[in-house]
Structure 1
Amino acid sequence: MHKQAVRPLLKVSVCLILVLSLISGCSGNNSAGPAASEQPSASPEATQPVDTSAVPEAFKAGTYKAEADGKDGKIQVEVTLDAESVITDIQVVSQNETAGIGVEAINKIKEEIIAGQTLAIDAVSGASESSTAILTAVEDAVKQAGGNVEAFKSRAVVKSGEGKTEQLSADVVVVGAGASGVSAAVSAADKGAKVILIEKTATIGGASNLSWAGKFYNSSAAVSSGLKVEVEKEIGDWIVNNHWRVDAAAIRQYVTKSGETYDWLTGKGYTTTFLNFGGEQLHMLPAYDTRQDLLKAMLAESVEKGGGQVITETTAQKLITGSNGEVTGVVAGKADGTVLEITGKSIVMATGGYAGNKEMVKEAFGFEGVNGGLGQNIGEGLQMSWDIGAKVPDNFGGQMLHQTLARATDKLKAEYEPFEASYPLMLSYLPTLMNVGPSGARFRDEAATLTAVAAANTSAFNGAYHLVILSQAQIDALKTKGMNGLKAPGLPGMPPEFYASFADKFTLDQPWKDADKVFESMVANGDGFKGNTIEELAKNAGMDAAVFAADFKLYQQAAKTGIDTEFGKAKEYLLPMGESGPYYAIISEINNLCSVGGLLVNTKFQVLNDKRVPIKGLYAVGVESEGVLFNDTYVGNGVGLGYSFTSGRLGGEDAAAGALGTK
């Protein structure tokens, strides 16, 4: 792709996806527990007068139960309608949506339905599946009551701020309230700057609310635990492993300064726990359901105490520039329709990248897998910056490809217990099965499945998905001996949240009961394929029959001889498939946690233009600036989160210094 074509093409992509993004769901760890108890934010819609003259004769007042599929399971509600077909109450009986994201969306939608007596409500940004589920469930309850569903759907929503413009000013304006944005806002405020932080969703914390651990090199906790990284070797290896196409100064800054971030966060009450993860210095984040409150407390103590503001459900639309091209502010739209014109001396972009924009990811990186990050991250922060002259980096396009997923999992969970529903998923992590690309060609030593980043990138390089091949003989072995029947060298390397609901059964010797039925259901659901012969499997799966047959023959030969002439797979991982069918193919996909990079920055986190000169007043932190650390693909274990907090902390200080003229 020609570099000069990037900006206009991506601009079109962003414009298109602004509409499409509403159907992208949020993702992350489930929050156990019944209905949301948090207080919803104030509704932007004005309460509507309701015309009750057309109440259907069949309508019957009362309380009705209904449910719908959310992001992380069923959302069950009880909806009360009075004699005039007015919805007077909505109680969420049970739900399992993500705390701080899906839960807040449920509360917000509930409030807006009652206030406006309408079902014509936009999904909450970043939580569209949760939003759609509560709307669907309430609609079902109205139908059960014999109410006029079309009236509820057609009732206009009046936004109280429509047509209004409000002017605000600050020393530092931060766009995006994820880990990097919150850190930047807090550190800038601590340096004496008045800060305004805006966030497009109702949630503070962004992807950090869903993440596991970050890396803070040689933190006081790591050193006191006896694990110390040799800094110069780490930096040197990092540069070489990324083929020198990185900013060596930026890497040095992160490696030498991130340890301080651990103590900084601890001092702010956001306590992480050190973990020696096979020699890696990882720091586990606080409990999932506490993180947003901890970040809000940090903001209250620094930003709000210093006279600043935190404004949620407000989306940045464009940057304001002065006569010399300097950035002087940002225009944003609030959920209630109000337009904000916020002026500032330093503007910090922390909008989380563009992994939620499928078209943009495909164009920039050729990836067509799953967005496992936040659906609201669609690249408008990058586009706004490019529009005023920011450089598109030469290594633009990198993504954080991580876990392997099985397409069958979600549908199977509606039919089976979590353990059984996860059979295809677990097999996608075993090195003893044959893996092929969409054409039917084997593409790797399947031992790559033992390392998350290796598994993800080898797959993504070979197509939108790959297929895990399974024979009836192997299914029989699973039914009697569990994963030991397939000579699994260890438990599948899945993230803990993938198996938390069946941890007691997550063992190598647990027999896989009903394995036949599960894989038949997978095929029936369209999430895998079956063939009584190799040729039939190839046809049903859309593979090239000749390509697949040839590679299958070679693989069977390797299993017999113990010598893999194609990829050098170790003998202990070469498992025979038997001599007869049926055979199955599991559709396995790669999870993209977020994009990496998009804005070129220096070590003061100033955004650079095409001449690599700082654009006055514009800074970037977090994943949008992370491209300086990696070539074209993220390979850092814990670096994404560690860098987000560290770049935010340092970038906020630099933005404050630029605004206050202190250096």
Structure 2
Amino acid sequence: MRKQAQSKIFMLSVCLIMLLSLISGCSGNNDAEPAASGQPSASPEAAQQAADDNEVPASFKAGTYKAEADGKDGKIQVEVTLDAQSTITGIKVLNQKETAGIGVEAINKIKDEIISGQTLAIDAVSGASESSAAILTAVEDALKQAGGNVEAFKSRKIAKAGEGKTEQLSADVVVVGAGASGVSAAVSAADKGAKVIIIEKTATIGGASNLSWAGKFYNSSAAVSSGLKVSVEKEISDWIVNNHWRVDAAAIRQYVTKSGETYDWLNKKGYKTTFINFAGEQLHMLPAYETRQPTLRAMLAASVEKGGGQVITETTAKKLITGANGEVTGVVAEKADGTTLEITGKSIIMATGGYAGNKEMVKEAFGFEGVNGGLGQNIGEGLKMSWEAGAKVPDNFGGQMLHQTLARATEKLKAEYAPFEASYPLMLSYLPTLMNVGPSGARFRDEAATLTSVAAANTSAFNGAYHLVIISQAQIDALKAKGMNGVKAPSLPGMPPEFYATFADQFKLDTPWKDADKVFESMVANGDGYKGGTIEELAQSAGLDAEVFAHDFNQYQEATKTGVDTEFGKAKEYLVPMGQSGPYYAIIAEVNNLGSVGGLLVNTQFQVLNDKRVPVKGLYAVGLESEGVLFNDTYVGNGVGLGYSFTSGRLGGEDAAAGALAK
């Protein structure tokens, strides 16, 4: 079995490397000035207000100043020009690596608002709070360099044009959220003849699908023609058992038997996915990152807008409208300019992406305290609105999509080292040949769990907010000399392709790890890891229980000598000695949560159910918010999140349209 597992891991790694030639690269890494509609100028109102309240300090000096701040994916560097009246006349982005379609759009929007309003009192762009904060911080720094009146810019508020205004709209179907599931629902509903209005709180169409890489569409035409066919009945049976029977068997059957059709549907719509045999799994790689949002927008134009509907972005749903008998009849939303929209509809589809961006809600529901690797705008409003309208909170509420391991040190190290060197701690967190301990210092798993993303993530999360990867000086020396072969890595770390896209040519088992000593010293200096000359000193610096850590460390060292792991049964070939002396290092490793799972209970027509498990009339849900019917308390799929989002959207949109047109 172990040889088969190693073979599978090897095949996965080979597949991932081959995929790099097909993938255009991570959705970020845009070093040039973001595309924009043109440089704005200060509005007359802002210019007058600036003249009234902005006394130019004697220390102020007009000119052009450079500044930078940390964005979500790296430094954002700007060049800010101010005239003699301390008016910001231009902001040029010199360098940034934010996510295309999300962070980049936020940068453009914020810098335009700064100039037109002559203000720093600007709300963050929903879904891009870190990018928004970075551009504001950088411009503020430039103002400080110039000796400008920063407080005047931060206190100057510009009234929103739509405040106090209300608009009323109507449609057959109203979709809340324009991610993969929402767009699919809107398009399929429009194709059935319904007039559709879809609203999205950000400026971006596509949601988390813009950040992902593959979905699972069972027995798609491409998979079957390639010779890979899944036994439907066995897949469904195993799925139910693996989730301890606490799932909706009909919903699982619907997804497994209908998702293959979604592959052809998407391809026909122009959203072309590419089938890959992922070590026996039927995965379908999404289009190149930069083409996804334009393609989804084109799908909406060809169906929703062509049918007389509307696509309204930067508009946040606030509450559901209900009738006298509890039926859902519409949604109240707020546009970016402050205008209130009252949108009535016969069918309302919730596709708001869950609540993984709401740390407090995730902690309360699941106890998880790791990293939100999904979208920050997904904070649970859609669920709360639905619950207030009578929807049932599912019995298995709380599940999360824990799917990757992260090293806290990575981002800071990227500011000091090349991407390969900066990723040393990250890569080690994916290897089965190193010792892992929890926050107490106790070893908590067979480290071979690191070979499977879901197993790695959930075993870690079960033991606290983080875990520590222990590495000795002897092992670092081996890495410097022989690369990952030096610590007997059985295969390349099973990281997502975007994690190593920038150093694919070095991502090999035999690439020597130059400067490894310096990298790990920097990790410790940055506060993202720990060091000790002895295991006792390491325990003290890392806040571990010294007795617990010493016991488990010595027991593990004995296992590396005998080849027998009496505690967790780790395979002999993964028991690599650490040597007999320090120093020792501890890497802080965290779990990446890609999204929450569930929150609304639905039937196979994607109607939301109430406490009596009867449909709430007029209310539907698709995507992650309805995905709890597939899993018990933890997501254990591979590509299911995306596959289900597109499939539930396609089918749910048809059902919602049928319900609306029948009224």
Q: Residues 44 and 161 of structure 1 are in contact (CA less than 8 Å); yes or no, is this contact kept in structure 2? A: no
Partner letter of residue 51 of structure 1? A
Normalising by structure 2, what TM-score?
Answer: 0.94
Residues 126-275 of structure 1 correspond to what in structure 2 (within 5 A)? 126-275=127-276
Q: Residues 221 and 264 of structure 2 are in contact (CA less than 8 Å); yes or no, is this contact kept in structure 1? A: yes
Distance 2:335 2:40 in 1: 12
Distance 1:188 1:47 in 2: 44
Question: Could you list the per-position Cα deviations for residues 43-90 of structure 1 after superposition, in whole angstroms to 9, with x for gaps in the alignment?
Answer: 999952233362223333332222222111222222222222211222
Distance 1:426 1:47 in 2: 53
Distance 1:73 1:539 in 2: 32
- Match of 2:633, SS state, is coil
Distance 1:270 1:438 in 2: 44
Q: Residues 165 and 339 of structure 1 are in contact (CA less than 8 Å); yes or no, is this contact kept in structure 2? A: yes
**Greater Cα offset, 65-74 or 333-342:** 65-74
Match of 1:433 in 2: 434
Q: Residues 430 and 492 of structure 1 are in contact (CA less than 8 Å); yes or no, is this contact kept in structure 2? A: yes
Q: In the superposition, relative to structure 1, how do residues 507 and 80 fare at CA in structure 2: closer, same or farther (>3 Å)?
A: same
Partner letter of residue 513 of structure 1? K
Distance 1:439 1:405 in 2: 20
Q: CA deviation at 1:32?
A: 2.9
- Match of 1:381, SS state, is helix
Residues 1:316 and 2:317 aligned together: yes
- Match of 2:51, SS state, is coil
Q: Residues 45 and 336 of structure 1 are in contact (CA less than 8 Å); yes or no, is this contact kept in structure 2? A: no
Residues 1:631 and 2:632 aligned together: yes
Residues 1:99 and 2:103 aligned together: no
Q: CA deviation at 1:29?
A: 3.7
Q: Residues 531 and 583 of structure 2 are in contact (CA less than 8 Å); yes or no, is this contact kept in structure 1? A: yes
Residues 19-98 of structure 1 correspond to what in structure 2 (within 5 A)? 29-39=27-37, 47-48=45-46, 49-52=48-51, 54-98=55-99
Partner letter of residue 169 of structure 1? S
Q: In the superposition, relative to structure 1, how do residues 182 and 92 fare at CA in structure 2: closer, same or farther (>3 Å)?
A: same
Q: CA deviation at 1:145?
A: 2.5
Match of 1:363 in 2: 364
Distance 2:562 2:480 in 1: 26
Partner letter of residue 158 of structure 1? A
Partner letter of residue 82 of structure 1? D
Match of 1:521 in 2: 522
Which stretches in structure 2 are left out of the alignment for 5+ residues? Answer: 1-25
Distance 1:481 1:237 in 2: 42
Aligned-residue identity in percent: 85
Question: Could you list the per-position Cα deviations for residues 511-535 of structure 1 after superposition, in whole angstroms to 9, with x for gaps in the alignment?
Answer: 1111111111111111111111111
Q: CA deviation at 1:540?
A: 1.4
Match of 1:477 in 2: 478
Distance 2:338 2:73 in 1: 30
Distance 1:487 1:43 in 2: 60
Normalising by structure 1, what TM-score?
Answer: 0.94
Q: Residues 219 and 260 of structure 1 are in contact (CA less than 8 Å); yes or no, is this contact kept in structure 2? A: yes
Partner letter of residue 191 of structure 2? D
Q: CA deviation at 1:418?
A: 1.1
Distance 2:97 2:456 in 1: 30
Residues 285-364 of structure 1 correspond to what in structure 2 (within 5 A)? 285-364=286-365
Partner letter of residue 86 of structure 2? S
Q: Residues 31 and 94 of structure 2 are in contact (CA less than 8 Å); yes or no, is this contact kept in structure 1? A: no
Partner letter of residue 128 of structure 1? S
**Greater Cα offset, 294-303 or 61-70:** 61-70
TM-align CA RMSD: 1.6
- Number of equivalences: 635
Q: CA deviation at 1:39?
A: 3.3
Q: Residues 43 and 108 of structure 1 are in contact (CA less than 8 Å); yes or no, is this contact kept in structure 2? A: no
Match of 1:554 in 2: 555
Residues 263-662 of structure 1 correspond to what in structure 2 (within 5 A)? 263-661=264-662
Q: CA deviation at 1:612?
A: 0.2
Q: Residues 412 and 522 of structure 1 are in contact (CA less than 8 Å); yes or no, is this contact kept in structure 2? A: yes
Question: Could you list the per-position Cα deviations for residues 592-617 of structure 1 after superposition, in whole angstroms to 9, with x for gaps in the alignment?
Answer: 00000000000000000000000000
Q: CA deviation at 1:472?
A: 1.0
Distance 1:603 1:98 in 2: 35
- Match of 1:180, SS state, is helix
Partner letter of residue 588 of structure 1? A
Q: Residues 44 and 159 of structure 1 are in contact (CA less than 8 Å); yes or no, is this contact kept in structure 2? A: no
Question: Could you list the per-position Cα deviations for residues 10-63 of structure 1 after superposition, in whole angstroms to 9, with x for gaps in the alignment?
Answer: xxxxxxxxxxxxxxxxxx742434111143899999952233362223333332
Q: Residues 429 and 492 of structure 1 are in contact (CA less than 8 Å); yes or no, is this contact kept in structure 2? A: yes
Question: Could you list the per-position Cα deviations for residues 471-521 of structure 1 after superposition, in whole angstroms to 9, with x for gaps in the alignment?
Answer: 111111111111111000011111111111111111111111111111111
